[in-house]
A and B are shown apart, each in its own frame.
Chain A
Amino acid sequence: MTHIEEGILATLGVEEQPSDQVVVVEATDVGKWFGRLHVLKDVSLTVRRREVVVIIGPSGSGKTTLIRCINHLEKIQRGRILVNGHLIGYRERDGLLREDSERNIAHQRREIGMVFQRFNLFPHMTALANVIEAPIRVRRVPEDDAVATARTLLERVGLGHKANAYPSQLSGGQQQRVAIARALAMKPALMLFDEPTSALDPEMIGEVLEVMKELAREGMTMIVVTHEMGFAREVADRVVMMDEGQIIEEGTPEHFFRDPSHPRTKAFMSKIL
């Protein structure tokens, strides 16, 4: 059984590209308001291929909102976000940005996987059906191929034996691993993780982080909102600290552990470590 040697991405037939400088996400001066609340203030962020970026920050700092803007689950009022060089959610005409058609936005989202804090598995479908739904309906993958890929993916996240279980029959950690498999089944160029372990009981956090670490090591481009500094230390290329809608500090995980420069970062790090 050679496939045991293969990684999660290899099972998808994704070539391991050499680490290069291709920019996957380029957010420039992103501004967003919820009513009067200014939640993102000129946020700029660049993420290159194979990079793993961890976003930390206190609640309400805008970190979740930022990654939700990257797949246009939230509108932005200022700036622009490019994924793989394509403007996300908007179309440019005469120098003005107008929201793109629903169909085009859906098309763009195929390339951007997302894992949610609350898993959001489809409760009326089995684990396997959750994973094959989008490949079949959106990518028009033949059912046999979709099922084969889904079974391999479930196997890789350690849930091959749970393919026919409904989400309600799975623990939180198992549900989140199915959710990761579901996102990966679309073969995204980028994975967004929105506090993927925050809703989990402590004993289940590890199993989800293990899957994420494996993905990171295999070269998946990832943006992860999390407070799991152990995860950051092990696999993150860069940590981004947000506070009050702004990126206040950026650096390697080591930098954040050793000598964070911003006083708010220091205070924050001392609380979560």
Chain B
Amino acid sequence: MAIASASALVAANGPSLQFDTSFFLNFVFHPSPALLGGLAITIYASIIAQAAGVILGTFSALAGMARNPILRAMSGLYVWFFRGTPLLVQLFLVYFGTPYLFGVDLFPREMQLGPFDLRGAVVAGIVALSINEGAYMSEIIRAGILSVDPGQTEAAKSLGMTYGLTMRRIVLPQALRVIVPPLGNEFNNMLKTTSLLSVIAVEEIFRVADAANSATFKSFEAYFGVALYYLALTTIWSGFQRIIERRIGVSAAREEEREGILARLFGLGREKPEELTMPGGGR
């Protein structure tokens, strides 16, 4: 529809630049309640789906490295399926497919979840995003865990620590510095990927912008305006990401120096000057 209206516009006015500056500025800087509502959905859907993805991914990664072959197979199957099929298909599968499969309306129009009154489509969207994200996080967390020196696990075991304690207190905290940079990229992706929820009628910002286009035919202004919103979100997130990585990166740099020449020159028997721990922090 957007394409048809755009070509009609070009036919009527000839090939001259069409840009309604005041509409655009108004759209961006005086956002409608609908756009603000959409922004809220985009943000909380991203955060919830990412958090759930990290949790799912952690369990999947641990299952994938378990001794039990059934757990390993389940993790492998999960990652294989959800990384190997399009998110859009998974979204439809969850929202339209599963209620049909189970014969129950899993995602009714209105859903009361504790204090929150959510639309079923939003819930279905978050569920699909979470499951999909979990599959990617599984691989990231697995790589992080494998990056930790096996001697750490042995030391923890030799002290009588159980598997759970070893993971929680010793391995995962150290895996974090390998996990966090790609995790930041995943969240950057997630902020943008929520736009797919528009196809199941979730009123996130892209859907609101699309509706503005339909109502006004100001296609470029509406889509460019919403693009700037995504850009603002990802830019703000990049700032956070840099801060987080710098904090984790400092301790990483310290560890890497342990066996390096710097440690031998400066680390023997006295406190290291703080500057020496800084280079190489973050990415």
**Contact of A123 with B162 at beta-carbon distance under 8 Å, contacts A118-B151, A171-B267 already known:** no
Is B162 in contact with A167, judged by CB distance below 8 angstroms? no
Give complex CA distance A254, B221 in Å. Answer: 92
Q: Is B55 an interface residue (CB 8 A)?
A: no
Among B155, B157, B251, B258, max chain A CB count under 10 A is at B155
Answer yes or no: B97 CB below 8 A from chain A CBs: no
Q: Which residues of chain B (251-281) have a CB below 8 Å from chain A?
A: 251, 254-255, 257-258, 263, 267-269, 271-272
**Chain B CB within 8 A of A186 CB:** yes
Asked whether any CB of chain A lies closer than 8 Å to the CB of B110, the reply is no
Q: Is B158 an interface residue (CB 8 A)?
A: yes
Name the residue among B159, B161, B257 with the largest chain A CB count within 10 angstroms.
B159
Q: Which of A28-36, A130-138, A215-223 contacts the other chain?
A: A130-138
Q: Within 8 Å of chain B (Cβ to Cβ): is A50?
A: no
Is residue A112 contacting chain B, with contact meaning CB distance below 8 A? yes
State the CA gap A168–B157 with chains docked (Å).
22
Given A109-B160, A134-B161, A171-B268, A122-B254 contact (CB < 8 Å): no
- Minimum CB distance partner of B177 in chain A: A124
Asked whether, in the complex, the Cβ of A169 is within 8 Å of the Cβ of B152, the reply is no
Stretch at the interface among B135-143, B168-176, B239-247: B168-176
- Chain A interface residue count, CB cutoff 8 Å, equals 36
Contact A71 to B158, CB < 8 A, known contacts A118-B151, A122-B170, A124-B173: yes
C-alpha spacing A155/B158, complex, angstroms: 23
Contact B165 A138 (CB under 8 A): yes
What is the interface of chain B mostly: helix, strand, loop, or mixed? helix
1/0 contact string of B159-196 vs chain A (CB within 8 Å): 11111010001100110000000000000000000000
Contact A186 B160 (CB under 8 A): yes
The answer to whether the Cβ of A182 comes within 8 Å of any Cβ in the partner chain is: yes
Contact status A123-B154, CB under 8 Å: no
Contact yes or no, B154 A134, CB < 8 A: no
Q: Does A114 contact B (CB under 8 A)?
A: yes
A123 and B158 contact, Cβ closer than 8 Å, known pairs A102-B163, A168-B267, A169-B272: no
Nearest A residue to B159 via CB reads A134
User: Interface size for chain B: under 10, 10 to 19, 20 to 34, or 35 or more residues?
Assistant: 20 to 34
Q: Residue B20 at the A interface, CB < 8 A?
A: no
Residues of chain A within 8 A (CB-CB) of B174 are: 122-124
Inter-subunit contact A167/B258 (CB<8 Å): yes
Complex interface residues of chain A between 172 and 202 (CB less than 8 A to chain B): 174, 179, 182-183, 186
Known: A116-B151, A120-B149, A166-B254. A183 touches B159 (CB 8 A): yes
Given contacts A168-B254, A169-B271, contact A120 B155 (CB under 8 A): yes
Q: How far is the CA of A71 from the CA of B163 in the complex (A)?
A: 15
Contact in complex: A110, B154 (CB < 8 Å): no
Q: Please determine whether B271 and A109 come into contact, CB atoms closer than 8 angstroms.
A: no
The distance in angstroms between the C-alpha atoms of A183 and B268, with both chains bound, is 23
Q: Is the CB of B161 within 8 A of A120?
A: no
Q: Is the CB of A174 within 8 A of B269?
A: yes
Interface readout for A62-84 with B: 1 if CB under 8 Å, 0 if not? Answer: 00000000010100000000000
Q: Is the CB–CB distance between B158 and A73 below 8 Å?
A: yes
A264 to chain B, nearest CB (A): 30
Partner of A138, one of B155, B161, B173: B161
> Residue on B with the closest CB to A201?
B264
The contact sample of 9 A-B pairs, CB cut-off 8 A, is A73-B157, A106-B162, A108-B160, A109-B158, A114-B155, A116-B155, A169-B267, A169-B271, A183-B159
